[in-house]
Amino acid sequence: MAISYKKQKEAERWILEDARSVCSFFPPGEVQCFEEPDLRIKLGTGWLGVEVTELVRPKGENPFPPVQDENLHHEVVRLAEQNYYQAPDAEPVSVGVMFLDDEQCRRENPEGWQRLADKETGRKPEKMASSLVEFVKYHSAQGRTSAVFKKREMPGQTDGDTLPAGFEVIVISLPPAPWCSGESATIAPLDPQQLCATIKKKNELLPKYWAKSPDTPIWLLIYSGPSVSRSLPIPRSITEWKFAFDFDKVLLFSGMDRRVFEIGRL
């Protein structure tokens, strides 16, 4: 058995066990790795099959996948924190930031986006880190060591009233703590069409699952993890969504919300 396959089965089992720990939908019983469907739960009178699939945030028009975006943002914050504290008189503060992706930045601030994208003037992480340091220094010097700066709520009359290109929210606060980063504050929530496509793709495989496990109920467990680079906010209206499927039950486990939602059937 290949190591990668082992890790995949371990991940599928972990998702099921984690989902079972936060809701009562799943029956008790030993979880076993299987194939087509991915897992099965030992019941008193037989088995319950569970197919597991992950739901990730779409890439959209951004040329970099979300995971690469997250890595870049962590690098920006790490460099900024290091550079900020190189000054002996730096005011110790906690800084948290949320970012615009390239698509948003290009649309809302073409000139700023062009400066960041120009490779002849340096690497993008260094340029963003430098602008973040200058912003924090400016507001710390003004005595604003506890403030939330949101791009769309700032007057933009001076440099200090405008967020640097690529940033959507900057939080400066006390007491001092390690600086941290998040993804865009305007991540689009889960779209019904994306969920529908995910269910449909798996539903087409059900005849194979039934052939290997006749007379066995089979559930579909869709997972959206807690990582900001991959997860999707779940809208409240999801409890009203309904889709066509042949699974005995379809569940959505949101690692971000630590909730399991049962998906309605048409």
176, 212: one domain? no
pTM of the full structure: 0.60
40, 95: one domain? no
111, 192: one domain? no
| Sign of the alpha-carbon dihedral angle for 3, 212, 12, 220 | positive
Q: What is the domain range of residue 8? A: 3-57+188-265
Distance, CA of 34 to CA of 49 (rounded, Å): 9
192, 177: one domain? no
Domain end position, chosen among 181, 198, 214: 181
107, 206: one domain? no
117, 144: one domain? yes
- Number of C-alpha atoms within 13 angstroms, CB side, residue 216? 25
* Domain total in the chain: 2
Domain end position, chosen among 166, 181, 196: 181
pLDDT tens per residue across all 266 residues of the chain:
445 888 889 989 999 999 999 899 999 999 999 999 999 999 998 999 999 999 876 655 444 445 567 788 889 999 999 999 999 889 898 898 888 877 778 888 889 889 998 999 999 999 999 999 999 999 888 777 677 887 766 655 555 578 899 898 888 887 788 898 865 545 667 889 999 999 999 999 999 999 999 999 999 999 987 655 566 778 888 999 999 999 999 999 988 778 999 999 99
160, 214: one domain? no
Domain end position, chosen among 132, 157, 181: 181
85, 124: one domain? yes
